[in-house]
């Protein structure tokens, strides 16, 4: 009571019968406040020495671990006109299932008999190649025959040359004998003339010797003519030998020229056949591209081009498909100053959109509704948003991620760092210092440390 009034009731009322009078009278505000301050100081003192897990918080989104498991677009490889759809959005398709059918819009592919006509052209060109091959074989046979004939003809001509040489030798011997006989005959005529003048020989003997001399002179001239004729035959045989050689060289060169011309034509025809075969395969593959098929098992999520009769260009996007089987991961971005604090295998806690959670960033063990992950990749190049991207996969030793989680869902990530006292964390934040840098201990290092303890 404040005791402001002069009319007191202390002696008129038995205050022991009323509890409220006793409480008001015995109340000491300063004493209670002191107790509260002491208790609060003790609690704060205890709290500042409690362990606090340093962390880096960042937002991200759910993606897939493998690139081929992420949502992809189905493109049209060729230009065409949409004729029929076989699926709708939300349908599940297996790999190879037909999604849609498109028709041709380029006039060079309008012919319904395009493949058969191209195949006929290929067969015709193949026959042309075979014809050139047969011509080349015939020319090879002709060249072989010319080579054999040339060999025989040259051998025959060489024999004629040898015969002419031997004939010259024989005729030269006869010519030398004729000259010797002529010399003897001249000497005999001279001696007979001397003897006739001396009266030892008759005129008849002299005339006989002169007649013999004339006969010997005629034989010498005949032998000389034969020798010259044999020499002419040798020259003719040598000329014939060179003529035969040149003649067959000319024939062989002409045959080989025709052969190589045929080979050139054959190679050109083979090149055309190869080109047409390539064109035929292109036509065949192109006809198989009229049916757009699913590249893998998944769900049709969105049709970009719709309707019947619309034309599409080469490489144009038609629809998106989400693979049915995928390994979830979270893509999150961190500041460049936090990049040195991150490494592969580091623990991260997530709060996913749609899954209620109670989070204590400094005490992750007390958090509820969060899910664990491990860093599996860190980009080496900064992203367009000025941050570095890290990829986090589910932690196999932690609670499994929700089954209903879908690619593209939002995720709030908390990368767990070093455990420090709360007072140190407050001091660090007050001074604007970054979290402590540390390296995660490997299993071997942790086992060695436990053995030492």
- pLDDT tens profile 21-70: 555 555 556 677 778 888 888 887 777 777 767 677 888 899 988 888 88
- Mean pLDDT confidence for 316-333: 89
Angle value at C-alpha 373, between 387 and 47, nearest 5 degrees = 90
pLDDT bin (cut points 50, 70, 90) of residue 268 is very high
Of all residues in the chain, what percent carry a pLDDT higher than 70? 84
- Mean pLDDT confidence for 414-433: 72
On average, the pLDDT of the chain sits at 82
Radius of gyration of the chain (CA): 60
| pLDDT value at 1 more than 50 | no
* Distance from C-alpha of 156 to C-alpha of 158, rounded to nearest angstrom: 5
CATH topology of domain 53-69+326-452: Elongation Factor Tu (Ef-tu); domain 3 (2.40.30)
Please determine whether the domains at 72-104+290-323 and 114-288 fall in the same fold group of CATH.
Answer: no
- pLDDT tens string 392-404: 999 888 888 888 8
Q: Which of 107-111, 205-209, 396-400 has the lowest mean pLDDT?
A: 205-209
pLDDT of res. 101: 92
Q: Which residue has the higher pLDDT, 8 or 97?
A: 97
* Distance from C-alpha of 342 to C-alpha of 162, rounded to nearest angstrom: 102
| pLDDT value at 200 more than 70 | yes
What is the domain class of 114-288 according to CATH? mainly alpha
3-state class of 331 per DSSP?
strand
| pLDDT value at 12 more than 80 | no
| pLDDT value at 17 more than 60 | yes
| pLDDT value at 304 more than 60 | yes
What is the domain class of 72-104+290-323 according to CATH? mainly beta
| pLDDT value at 87 more than 70 | yes
pLDDT of res. 52: 66
Q: Which residue has the higher pLDDT, 31 or 73?
A: 73
pLDDT bin (cut points 50, 70, 90) of residue 222 is confident
* Bridge partners for 330 per DSSP: 62, 392
- First CA to last CA across the chain, in angstroms? 65
**Cα dihedral: 291, 297, 299, 300 (round 10):** -20
> Where do the structural domains in the chain lie, given as residue ranges?
1-48, 53-69+326-452, 72-104+290-323, 114-288
- Mean pLDDT confidence for 424-431: 72
pLDDT of res. 217: 83
- Mean pLDDT confidence for 393-420: 83
């Amino acid at each position: 009571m404040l005791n402001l009034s002069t009319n007191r009731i202390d002696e008129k009322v038995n205050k022991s019968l009323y509890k409220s009078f006793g409480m008001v009278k015995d109340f000491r505000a300063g004493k209670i406040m002191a107790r509260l301050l002491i208790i609060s100081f003790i609690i704060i003192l205890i709290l500042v020495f409690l362990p606090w897990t340093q962390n880096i918080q960042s937002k991200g989104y759910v993606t897939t671990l493998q690139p081929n498991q992420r949502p992809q677009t189905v493109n049209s490889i060729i230009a065409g006109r949409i004729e029929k759809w076989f699926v709708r959005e939300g349908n599940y398709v297996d790999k190879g299932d037909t999604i849609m059918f498109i028709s041709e819009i380029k006039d060079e592919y309008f012919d319904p008999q395009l493949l058969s006509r191209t195949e006929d052209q290929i067969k015709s060109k193949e026959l042309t190649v075979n014809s050139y091959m047969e011509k080349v074989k015939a020319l090879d046979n002709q060249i072989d025959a010319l080579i054999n004939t040339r060999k025989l003809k040259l051998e025959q001509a060489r024999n004629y040359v040898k015969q002419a040489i031997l004939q010259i030798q024989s005729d030269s011997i006869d010519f030398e004998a004729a000259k010797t006989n002529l010399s003897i005959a001249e000497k005999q005529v001279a001696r007979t003339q001397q003897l006739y003048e001396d009266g030892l020989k008759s005129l008849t003997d002299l005339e006989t010797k002169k007649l013999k001399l004339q006969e010997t002179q005629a034989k010498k001239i005949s032998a000389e003519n034969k020798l010259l004729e044999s020499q002419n035959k040798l020259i003719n045989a040598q000329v014939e030998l060179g003529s035969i050689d040149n003649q067959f060289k000319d024939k062989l060169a002409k045959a080989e020229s025709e052969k190589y011309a045929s080979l050139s034509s054959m190679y050109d025809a083979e090149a055309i056949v190869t080109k047409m075969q390539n064109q035929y395969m292109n036509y065949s593959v192109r006809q198989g591209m009229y049916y757009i098929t699913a590249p893998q098992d998944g769900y049709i999520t969105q049709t970009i081009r719709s309707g019947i009769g619309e034309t599409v260009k080469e490489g144009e996007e038609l629809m998106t498909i989400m693979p049915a089987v995928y390994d979830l991961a979270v893509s999150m971005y961190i500041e460049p100053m936090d990049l040195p604090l991150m490494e592969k295998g580091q623990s991260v806690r997530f709060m996913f959109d749609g899954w209620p959670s109670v989070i204590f960033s400094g005490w992750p063990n007390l958090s509820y509704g969060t899910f664990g992950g491990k860093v599996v990749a860190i980009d080496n190049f900064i992203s367009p948003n000025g941050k570095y991207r890290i990829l986090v996969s589910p932690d196999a030793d932690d609670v499994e991620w929700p089954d209903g989680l879908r690619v593209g869902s939002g995720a709030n990530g908390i990368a767990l760092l070093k455990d420090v006292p709360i007072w140190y964390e407050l001091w660090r934040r007050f001074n604007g210092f970054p979290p402590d840098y540390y390296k995660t201990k490997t299993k071997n290092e942790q086992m060695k440390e436990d053995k030492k303890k």
